[in-house]
Every structure is written in structure tokens, then in C-alpha cells.
Chains A and B, each alone.
Chain A
Amino acid sequence: MSKATDILSPEHGAADAHDDHHEHHIPKGIMRWVLTTNHKDIGTLYLWFAFIMFLVGGAMAMVIRAELFQPGLQIVEPNFFNQMTTVHGLIMVFGAVMPAFTGLANWLIPMMIGAPDMALPRMNNWSFWILPFAFSILLASLFVEGGGPAFGWTFYAPLSTTYSGDSTALFVFSVHIMGISSIMGAINVIVTIFNMRAPGMTWMKMPLFVWTWLITAFLLIAVMPVLAGAVTMVLTDKFFGTSFFDAAGGGDPVMFQHIFWFFGHPEVYIMILPAFGIISQIIPTFARKRLFGYASMVYATASIALLSFIVWAHHMFTTGMPVAAEMFFMFATMLISVPTGVKVFNWVATMWRGSMTFEIPMMFALAFIVLFTIGGLSGLMLAITPVDFQYHDTYFVVAHFHYVLVTGAVFSIMAAVYYWIPKWTGRMFDITLAKWHFWCSLISVNVLFFPMHFVGLAGMPRRIPDYALQFADFNKWISLGGFAFGLSQLIFLAVMIKACRKQGEPVSDQVWEGAEGLEWEIPSPAPYHTFDTPPVVK
């Protein structure tokens, strides 16, 4: 790999023809992307897809916030409002955050462990290319008679069965496809990490991003089939006369929630464990100091993953469980804060007595630590069953999971993109614009989500299109923050377009002064094929 091959125009590779690699088979134009089995191409596809979905889901959030700008019904009907909250949630979870992490995994895992590509490249292609179909089906359902799914992304039965519109069939089908895609992606990650590590890349030398993704992949394989089961039962209950969730036929609507959250709780860790990995890569780089407590980070991640299987019913404290079950799920949930705390403490200890600089990825990573921790602390409050009875299904919960998912997962994805994109394109992104993106996002996201704690505590339920007058002032601020946050992401779009067009200064191989790891030893931009001969890790 003497020559750096331009990843965005692989025909250069063919022109170079420095060896008999497969570069010259690469089709040009659109077919390159359709047929690609290259982990970098597929990573790029995943990331752009996720970004487009982020903007689509964000546009729905804008509709929601516009309707909630003031009391009364102004812009949309309640039925459409419910479709917006539902599809916003589905798109952000399955269309934005998860594919973005899969995109990062594709780009980075082979480069971090010294592998030439993912282990199953053709399946890799397929697991991406079924996603656009899944989301086309989901979005198309909004236009059928009766509208799209309007029962919340949690699709509780019987609202999603007996009482839903016919578009439920489309919803079920699209969730099946998303699930298949996720499972294939997870299998690929596991097989790659198990079989394709370079000589000397022992388990406890793997970068934390690789570790966290490995654990995430096991979570995916464990719980995506459970989701598939849940949607299938919804399908047969609605269309084929079964009664899994209908008491009149011997079923139980609460059983739906048990099944859903048995998937759903590990799912929230699926969306945060890779984020922990990213932050654990970025903080040491810009603190110029090794990650504190590497081993304990690995064990903490594994503990969180294991605990995630025994806490699901904390989403269901008001469903009327026996008090012993409420106790169990309260205590188990509180326990999760211990390994999560260990992670935060380790990051702070990494920073302590380091030599810090504050480039864009570091700024996002620091914002992540503070804001994710706020979300974690409100999560700890939510674990306390007696007070959860008051918080449950209010805006306090909405504030909590947006702090964890937006300023947590999404900020970590942005940090990751800013951190690694110079390696991918060989050029530094537009730092001035990126600073604007960071500060606008940071301020607006807090105006958007922080007051939600207040209206939630004051008693505003979630998923309502109209509200009592005492919530009016804060909702106005929340909406303004929302619009500002939405617009701020257009700056991100501009930075990304400029970056992909290769505008900006060329960067060194190491890119960042303190960066360590195999991906920083290959040329910038990363050649189309890396590590054809495995490196030796000492």
C-alpha cells in the first residue's frame, strides 16, 4: 500500500494500478455504491443514510414543536400529531442513531484491528441496501388512507392492534426489515472481531470502540429477534384473529409491554455503548494521556450489557406489577448507575493531569460527558419506583431520554465524525463552521431539552398535541430551542458536504497530535484497501 488511494474516487486506484488488487473491478457512478462490498464505501453509505434520516426525523420533530409552540390546536390534527411522534421516534432510533453507529463500525473496526475489510462483505452490502426500502415503506405509510402508525414508537397493544389503522401492516414489515439489517450488521461485526484481528491484537489490546461494538453486537443479536416476535404478534392479532394481547381471547396487553421492553431496554444500551467507545477514544487523544482504567472500562461495559437484560420492567411500573417485582426492577435499575458511574469517573481521571487541547471532537466529547451524565442522573431518579409514578409518561421522561440520546448518542456520533473524517477524506474539515455548529447545537439543545424537566415535573404528560395553560411559557422556549437546534444541523450538513468535496487543508497521517491506534498509522486519506498484509501489533 505504497500509494494513498482516494476513497471517494476509486478510479484513481485503477489508474495507479500499482498491484493486481481488485480496484479495477470497481464500477463507476451509482453502480459503485449499489454493488460495493468495501467496508469504507458501506460505512459512508450508512453514515449518509443516517444523516438523511436524522434530518427527516428532525423535520417531524419540528412539526411537533410547531404544534406545541402555544396551547390550542393550530397546525396539525391530533391524529397526525400522533403519527409524527411515532414516526419521529422510529426514524431516530432505527434510521438515524443505529445506522450511524453501524456506519462508524464499518469504517473503523477493520482499520482499528488491522483487518483488510469486514468478514462478510456481501452480507454487509445487503444489510445496508435493505434499509432504504424499510424506511421508504415506513414513510410511505404516512400517505395511505388513515395515515401512518399513530400509536407511539413503543406500539403498545391494543392501540396498535384492534384500534390501529391498516398501515400497521406496513409498519410491521418495515420493522422486520430494519431488524434483519441490524442482525446482519451485528453478525458481521462479531465475525470480523473474532477472526480478523491482526497478529498481536489481543482482546485486551483492542481499542474501546471495538470492545463496546462487540458487546453491542451481542445485544443486537439477543434482542432484535424479540422485537421481530413482538411485531409479528401485533400483525397476527390485528389481521389474523390471534389474541396474544387481547384479554377477551385469553391474552394480556401487559405481556406486550414485557416483550417490547425486553427488547427495548437493551436497545437503549445498543444506542449508547458505542458512544462510550467513541468518547473513550477521543478523550485520551486530546488529553494526551492514556485512557484511565482500560480494563475496568471493558468490564463496566460488559456489566451494563448484562444488567440491561434484567431491568426492562422499570418502563412499566404503573402497569400494576406485584410490589416484589417493582422492588426487584427498582434495585436492578439503580445498580446500572454503578458501572455507568465508573465510566464517567474514568473519563474524568483520564483528563486529570493530562495536557488538554479543545479541538472540535474534544468539545463534543466534553459536552457528551456533562450532558449524558445529566441524563444518567435523571435516569437514576426515574429508577426510584415511588417517584417514577409521578414522572412516568411526562415530559420529565422525554427530557431524560433526549439527554441520553441526543446529547449522548447523537453528540458522540458527531464527535466521532469530526474526529475521524480527516482520516477518511485526507483533509481537515472547515473548523470555523464546525465551531459554529458546536456552539449553536450546545446552546439550543439545552434550551430545547432542559425546560422539559420542569414541565414534566409540573405535570405535563407526553404525547399530547395540546396542553394546559400553565405549561405555555416553557413550551414556547422549548419550541424555539427546537427550531434553533434543527437549523444548527444544517451547518453540520454544510461542513460535511465541504468535507466530502475535499475542501480544506491536507492532514498528516496521525491527524491529531495525541492520536494513537492502527487507524492513525495508515495514510490520510485512508486508501481504498487497507491492511492487505496484516500489521503486527506489539
Chain B
Amino acid sequence: MNRLGICVLKAWTALTLLMTGALAQASGNEAVSALNLRRGATEISGQVYDLHMLMFSICVGIAVVVFGIMFVSMYLHRKSRGAKPANFHESVKVEIAWTIIPFLILIFMAVPAAKTLLAMEDTTEPDMTVLVTGSQWKWHYKYMDRDVEFYSLLATQREQIDNRYSKGENYLLEVDRPLVIPTGQKVRFLITSDDVIHSWWVPDFAVKKDANPGFINEAWTRVDEPGIYRGQCAELCGKDHGFMPVVVIAKEPAAYEAWVSEQETIRKQAKQEEQRLLAMNMSMEELMAEGERVYNATCAACHMPNGEGLPGVFPALKGSPMALNDMQGHINIVLNGKTGTAMQAFGKMLSLKELAAVITYERNAWGNNTGDMVQAKDVNAVASGE
């Protein structure tokens, strides 16, 4: 190789190192980078980040050497520079060398990777456990040792998605009820699904685990710093796959304890309230107003805001025989879902009052006009098998 070739190679190496350094710099300093993986909020996610940067540097190194030699050759060994082709075309020694050397590099990569992997998959001895259940298109969280469970839905307004309102800072990465976990404790997640495969992903924890219907997966995290951590469903799960974010709030253990106790109290009160409401009737206006809210939050993703559904995929409610004539069947399908279809059981997701309101709404909106009113006690009657 002549001197010019060496110069080109040096300049090439310097340029690449500069770019790699800039990337590492740009990503190392900020919590969330637009260019690179994030270091995250846990010891594991930090290890994963370091592993990523190690692999990345090795790959850049290999690329610099290989492309460098190739570019030098492209410059030096051109016919237009009078290059005459050499005659060599095989060398067992060289072939063995460039089989063995990459193999050694691979071993160097494999050791830290295996170590981190073993640490990530060790879900033993957790301090607490949360059951995470995906369904089209929301997450459900159940604290296994406490009486707290709730659904977590996208909180971004429809108008922002449709470009009618300007988009907020956490567009598509905000939910109505985030998962709350304590800092400094090993939290185990049991992950499953009610319908299709979803994948629960929080980049800051380096946790991504598929939610498989009928099976339970395990993952864990121990968050160091209090904060709000955002992620998304990572496995294509149907129409609104892009609209089921994950938000986790990590609180100091004391604040967490206060929050979880408060949730238990609220839940207890809600149950009592529900029993009290069984004796009461709501007016048509109240039912329709509440029903519209529940419908748009819960049902409109599939059955569409205009009740017409998506032909061939999700059935229409507008003018459907069930919504017009079969009230018992209607209450039953909303409560219990329909197996073998995307229709979920909303009995465990909505309160009796909400169920009554949304069924009333579906029987009277979009020209269905049956005049039927469904009260909480009617729903309760079907639910309890009367």
C-alpha cells in the first residue's frame, strides 16, 4: 500500500471515530435521545445500553477496517491508474485467519451478552407482583397482593390524532391511568393477553415481553429513580396497535404505599356506591350523556363513532337486530363478550352504571331510537344470572 493509501485510511478512520464519538456523546448526556438507545432507569437497562454501545463500536470498527481496505483498493487498483491485475486467487492461511479472528471477536461479544441475559431472566424473589394483561387496545394491571386493578387506556384526544387540535407533548404516549410501582423494589410482571399477542415494552426498563393469550410470561424491573416512564405495545395487535401506550410512574416506597392504599379505599367505596345505585333509576338524558362518553372511550375503536363498524371486520350497531330487538342478548354480549371474535367481555371493565348507560346509548343513538332504557339493576340481573 502506498503512502496515499495509508493517508486515506487514516482520514477515514478518524472521520468514523469522530462520528461514533458524536453519537455516543449525543446519546449519553440526555435522558431520551433522538438518535440512540437510552440508558434507562434501571441497572439492567444501563447494562443493556453498555452492551449495545460495545456491539455498536465493534461493528463500526469492523466496518471501518473492511470498507477502508476496500476503498483504498478502489482508489489504488484502478485500471485508469494503470494497475495490472495480480494473479493470486487463494490462500488457505488467509481463509483460516479470517475465519478464526471473527470467531474470537464473537466470543468476546458473547460473554458479556450471556451475563446480562442471565441477570435479565432471573425473576426469582420479587418484592411485589403485577399481572399485566393486554387486550385490543388497552392494558389491564392487577396488583397481586393488593385489592387494586384497573384498565389503562390511551388518553390522547381523538381530535389530536385527526389533526383538529394541536398535538400535546406526550402525544400517543399518555394514558388515563398509569401503572404505579415503588422505586428500589424488585417488581415482577406476569404478562398475558385476553385476545391477540401484544408486547409490553418500557424502553427505560429494557423490558419487552410478549403478552400471549393463554400463557403467562415473566419479566422484572427495579427502578432506581422516581419518574414517569413511557413505552408502547411492540407487537402488531390489529387496527389500533399504534394507540396502546404503556405509562409507568415510579414513586418512592412511602408515596407508593399511600397511593395504593388510597386506590384500595376508592375501590371499596365504588363497590358500595354501585350496590346503592342498584336501587336508583337514571333518567334518559343522564343515561345517554354517560353512555356517549363510555361508548366513545370504549366501543368506538371498533364499532366506530357513528355505530357503523367496519364492514367485514367489526359489525355495525346502527340498525343491528340485536340493538333494536334483543335487549337480553344485547346486555349479555356487552357483559360477557362473544368467544371466537374480537368482542370482549366488558363486565369486568365497566361499572354497572356505565354498562347500563352505554347499552341504552347503543339502543337509542344513530337512529336506533328504540326508546329502551337499561338501568344498572337490569344489567345486574343478567350478570348474576337472574
Contact = CB atoms under 8 A, between A and B. Distances in A.
Contacts of A152: 236
B234 A461 contact: yes
Interface of A: 71-74, 78-79, 82, 144-147, 150-152, 156, 158-159, 162-163, 165-167, 246-248, 252-254, 287-296, 318-320, 323, 326-327, 330-331, 334-335, 337-338, 341-342, 344-345, 348-358, 366, 369-370, 373-374, 377-378, 380-381, 384-387, 389-390, 392-394, 454-455, 457-459, 461-471, 473-474
Contacts of B240: 78
B254 interface: no
A390 B231 CA distance: 11
Contacts of B195: 158, 162-163
Interface in B262-319: 310-313
A327 B114 contact: yes
B59 A318 contact: no
A330 B35 contact: no
A369 B110 CA distance: 26
Given A320-B218, A468-B173, A386 B162 contact: no
Interface in B172-199: 172-173, 191, 195-197, 199
Given A320-B218, A458-B34, 4 more contacts: A72-B160, A254-B212, A353-B73, A467-B172
A454 B52 contact: no
A253 to B, nearest CB: 6
A424 to B, nearest CB: 26
Nearest to A387: B52
B70 A351 contact: yes
Contacts of A463: 236, 241-242
B115 to A, nearest CB: 9
B63 interface: yes
Nearest to A320: B217
A74 B312 CA distance: 23
Interface stretch (B78-86, B126-134, B347-355): B78-86
Given A289-B86, A344-B66, A387 B48 contact: yes
A341 to B, nearest CB: 5
Contacts of B79: 288, 355-357
14 contacts: A145-B312, A151-B238, A156-B196, A292-B88, A337-B106, A345-B98, A354-B83, A355-B84, A385-B117, A387-B51, A389-B206, A393-B208, A454-B34, A465-B242
Contacts of B242: 78, 461, 463-467
B259 interface: no
Given A352-B73, A458-B32, A469 B171 contact: yes
Contacts of B197: 156, 158-159, 253
A159 B206 contact: no
B74 to A, nearest CB: 6
Contacts of B207: 389
B85 A351 contact: no
Contacts of A293: 89-91, 94-95
Contacts of B169: 469
Contacts of A326: 117, 121
Contacts of B62: 377
B117 A327 contact: yes
Interface in B89-112: 89-91, 94-95, 98-99, 102-103, 106, 109-110
A378 B173 contact: no
Nearest to B70: A348
B163 to A, nearest CB: 4
Contact of A387 (B55, B161, B170): B55
A348 B113 contact: no
B75 to A, nearest CB: 10
Enumerate the 6 nearest inter-chain pairs by beta-carbon distance, A residue then B residue, closest first.
A146-B312, A247-B214, A464-B242, A145-B312, A320-B217, A353-B86
B167 to A, nearest CB: 6
B209 interface: yes
Nearest to A286: B79
B38 interface: yes
B122 to A, nearest CB: 9
A336 B339 CA distance: 44
B116 interface: yes
B208 A392 contact: yes
B37 A348 contact: no
Contact of B203 (A454, A459, A474): A459
B237 interface: yes
A469 B167 CA distance: 8
